[in-house]
């Protein structure tokens, strides 16, 4: 039998078959993760690289399940299966909170709201009520797909030069905060699709904030890394360093002010934040810390609701965010560049990595023409990035035996270097789907916590370009992305819902700033094109590029649960021979992924009816997340 992804990792090469009946897949969780690295190295020797070779498709229905429905099947800490519904967040507790909403009869949106509120409490390092989000929802029965842009906006008092006097205030301190959109976005999506009471969706998050929750290793690491700033801010210190040192993994953390704030928003609705008592307290704290956001800014915040952007590539349809996200068009452009080669077999080989990197470099150069469509006309750039003939022209500029300095890719504007964030995927029993990426930009956003509300301030203003910027690439800052009141900054966030022949095929997205687009592209290719199973597709070592500096960063890291994720030496050698400069990285993107198993094309023909296949949900081991199935 052919190697099959995660199973195949240990299968044919190590002899003992994950495919043999005596070794059910569920036992994988008890195997030492180092086996993965050894297997990966062996496979690399065999010549398969970016994506481990695999004979059969990842969605071909030959996977075994350990048990039937009821409780979701757990195969590894980072994987869950269900034929009913699933949630993949980057924290086990919040995946479970989302799954509980589904069990209570909720729509995928109910689960996403409950899980996002939970993340804001237990992962304040990545997201929360003081941040913003992109939410893509597809209703299976109608096929309707809607994009909710709840990204932070520049406050009314913002100006293009507001950070000229002290550039550090663009990312640190209350002046770095954009008007938060998170709660408004959750409410807008819930108003349209939610089935459960708004209040009920808050209950788990409120309980965690009030009764306390355990700090996970990922958050403990971030606290340690930012210890100086955490101790320096009275709000952060009270919650995360109550005894004068930052909390360690396993210690209990309580945030009673956040519990109270969430309770009011649960009871009174989002108006409590957007102009009401919670918002007033929040703004008072923000202004005391030097911010310029006003209660009127909160009152005037608007979620942008539009049809999801549709892009077609490699035989799949992608539903995602329109600009100011550069993610949907970015992924589509890369896939259309790669999809134009005669056969896709190369994707499994070393040359696939080289071509991918080249496509990423071209995409990065082009996407900096994008910005908030309410302020700049990006329609020309968007249709170009989605057009196959444009991708063909770029492909002709890719050379298989070499890479080029940045100038070759015609970068006009300095790159956006964004960060932070958390991505979650939900599919419910009706096969409605949600892809949501939420963020406070940086670890702990602006490094300020509002003491009266327990909410961490975002530093999303950092995602704008500013005229006076000294950029690391010595290119001018992108004018399409300059600050203006009410404007939203360009983003790399890439929540996507994937369709095949009109049926749901998967939900995907990631965190990690500029690396998000390359992350999502590689996970997609690994599963849908190479045929790795969903877990292996996420685990597989990735490569990244930011165009400037002209360096490929590759993963070689031991993640939290001890698993080693490392690009092979042979791959590195192959890329070096083509002139790539390589640098090891231990902070790549993080991806959550749900695959909906569809019948083989020949077996389909169910017409317009919604197919209900098995779901496999994966939370990236890089952030030590766990999904939950029903």
| Catalytic residue ranges | 421
Angle at Cα 342 formed by Cα 336 and Cα 348, nearest 5°?
Answer: 80
436, 133 in Cβ contact below 8 A? yes
CB of 270 to ligand NAG, least distance (A): 25
Q: Checking phi first, is residue 556 left (phi over 0); if not, alpha (psi -120 to 50) or beta? A: beta
Cβ-based nearer residue to ligand NAG, 323 or 339: 323
423, 511 in Cβ contact below 8 A? yes
- For ligand NAG, what does the binding mask look like between residues 392 and 421, x meaning CB under 6 A? ---------xx--------------xxx--
- Single residue of 10, 126, 153, 441 touching ligand NAG by CB under 6 A: 441
Instruction: Look up residue 525 and give its DSSP letter.
Output: I
Q: Which of residues 469-508 bind ligand NAG (CB under 6 A)?
A: none
Residues whose CB falls within 8 Å of the CB of residue 196, separated by 6 or more in sequence, listed in order: 101, 104, 105, 106, 107, 110
The whole-angstrom separation of Cα 282 and Cα 26 is: 47
* Closest to 273 measured CA to CA, from 299, 292, 304, 300: 299
- Single residue of 20, 377, 396, 583 touching ligand NAG by CB under 6 A: 377
- For ligand NAG, what does the binding mask look like between residues 40 and 79, x meaning CB under 6 A? ---------------------x---x--------------
Backbone angles phi, psi at 253, to 5 degrees: -125, 135
- Single residue of 379, 412, 472, 586 touching ligand NAG by CB under 6 A: 379
Site size for ligand NAG, by CB under 6 A? 26
H or E, element range at 73: strand 73-76
- Residue 442 contacts ligand NAG per CB under 6 A: yes
Q: Which of residues 528-557 bind ligand NAG (CB under 6 A)?
A: 556
- Single residue of 6, 327, 495, 513 touching ligand NAG by CB under 6 A: 513
Cβ-based nearer residue to ligand NAG, 77 or 512: 512
H or E, element range at 237: helix 234-240
Burial of 607 (0-12, 13-18, 19+ CB in 10 A): exposed
Instruction: Name residue, tokens 């700090």.
Output: 215
Cβ-based nearer residue to ligand NAG, 1 or 248: 1
Q: Which of residues 81-120 bind ligand NAG (CB under 6 A)?
A: 83
Residues facing residue 499 across a β-bridge = 317, 504
490: tokens are: 């360009």
CB of 493 to ligand NAG, least distance (A): 12
Q: Which of residues 147-206 bind ligand NAG (CB under 6 A)?
A: 171-172
- Residue 589 contacts ligand NAG per CB under 6 A: no
Instruction: Look up residue 179 and give its DSSP letter.
Output: B
The span of 126-134, 290-298, 422-430, 564-572 binding ligand NAG (CB under 6 A) equals 564-572
Q: For the chain, give percent helix, strand, coil, nearest 5.
A: 40, 20, 45
- Residue 290 contacts ligand NAG per CB under 6 A: no
Cβ-based nearer residue to ligand NAG, 142 or 401: 401
Cβ-based nearer residue to ligand NAG, 74 or 264: 74
Cβ-based nearer residue to ligand NAG, 459 or 626: 459
The whole-angstrom separation of Cα 516 and Cα 421 is: 10
Note the residues at the interface with ligand NAG (CB under 6 A): 61, 65, 83, 171-172, 377, 379-380, 401-402, 417-419, 441-442, 459, 462, 513, 556, 566, 568-569, 572, 597, 613-614
């Amino acid at each position: 039998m052919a190697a099959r992804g995660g199973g195949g990792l240990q299968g044919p090469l190590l002899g003992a078959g994950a495919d043999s009946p005596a070794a059910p897949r569920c036992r994988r969780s008890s195997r030492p993760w180092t086996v993965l690295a050894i297997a990966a190295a062996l496979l690399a020797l065999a010549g398969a690289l970016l994506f481990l070779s695999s004979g059969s498709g990842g969605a071909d229905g030959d996977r075994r399940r350990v048990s039937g429905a009821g409780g979701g099947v757990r195969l590894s800490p980072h994987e869950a299966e269900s034929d009913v519904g699933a949630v993949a967040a980057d924290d086990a507790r919040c995946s479970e909170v989302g799954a509980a909403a589904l069990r209570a009869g909720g729509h995928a949106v109910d689960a996403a709201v409950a899980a996002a509120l939970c993340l804001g409490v237990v992962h304040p390092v990545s997201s929360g009520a003081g941040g913003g989000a992109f939410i893509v929802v597809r209703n299976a029965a109608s096929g309707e797909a809607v994009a909710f842009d709840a990204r932070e906006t520049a406050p009314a008092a913002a100006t293009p030069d507001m950070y000229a006097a002290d550039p550090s205030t663009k990312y640190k301190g209350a002046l770095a905060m954009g008007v938060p959109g998170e709660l408004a976005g959750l409410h807008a999506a819930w108003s349209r699709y939610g089935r459960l009471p708004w209040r009920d969706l808050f209950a788990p998050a409120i309980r965690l904030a009030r009764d306390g929750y355990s700090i996970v290793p990922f958050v403990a690491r971030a606290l340690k890394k930012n210890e100086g700033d955490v101790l320096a801010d009275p709000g952060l210190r009270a919650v995360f360093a109550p005894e004068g040192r930052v909390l360690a993994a396993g210690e209990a953390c309580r945030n009673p002010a956040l519990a109270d704030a969430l309770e009011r928003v649960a009871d009174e609705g989002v108006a409590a934040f957007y102009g009401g008592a919670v918002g007033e307290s929040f703004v008072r704290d923000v202004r005391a810390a030097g911010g310029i956001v006003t209660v009127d800014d909160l009152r005037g915040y608007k979620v942008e609701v539009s049809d999801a952007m549709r892009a077609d590539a490699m035989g799949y349809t992608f539903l995602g965010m329109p600009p100011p996200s550069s993610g949907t068009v970015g992924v589509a452009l890369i896939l259309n560049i790669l999809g134009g080669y005669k056969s896709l077999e190369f994707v499994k080989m070393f040359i696939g990595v080289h071509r991918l990197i080249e496509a990423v470099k071209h995409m990065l150069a082009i996407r900096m023409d994008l910005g908030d469509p309410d302020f700049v006309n990006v329609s020309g750039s968007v249709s170009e990035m989605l057009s196959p003939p444009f991708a063909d022209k770029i492909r002709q500029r890719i050379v298989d035996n070499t890479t080029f300095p940045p100038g070759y890719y015609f970068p006009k504007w300095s790159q956006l270097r964004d960060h932070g964030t958390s991505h979650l995927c939900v599919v419910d029993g009706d096969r409605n789907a949600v892809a949501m990426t939420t963020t406070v930009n940086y670890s702990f956003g602006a490094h300020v916590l509002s003491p009266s509300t327990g909410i961490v301030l975002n530093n999303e203003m950092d995602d704008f370009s500013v005229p006076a910027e000294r950029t690391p690439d010595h290119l001018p800052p992108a004018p399409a992305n300059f600050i203006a009141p009410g404007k939203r900054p360009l983003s790399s966030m890439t929540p996507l819902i994937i369709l095949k022949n009109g049926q749901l095929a998967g939900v995907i997205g990631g965190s990690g700033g500029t690396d998000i687009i390359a992350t999502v592209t590689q996970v997609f290719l690994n599963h849908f094109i190479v045929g790795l199973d969903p877990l292996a597709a996420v685990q597989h070592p990735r490569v990244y590029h930011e165009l400037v500096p002209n360096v490929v960063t590759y993963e070689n890291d031991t993640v939290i649960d001890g698993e080693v994720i490392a690009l092979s030496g042979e791959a590195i050698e192959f890329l070096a021979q083509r002139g790539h400069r390589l640098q090891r990285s231990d902070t790549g993107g993080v991806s959550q992924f749900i695959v909906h198993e569809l019948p083989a094309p020949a077996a389909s023909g169910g017409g317009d009816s919604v197919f209900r296949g098995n779901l496999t949900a994966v939370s990236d081991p890089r952030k030590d997340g766990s999904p939950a199935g029903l």
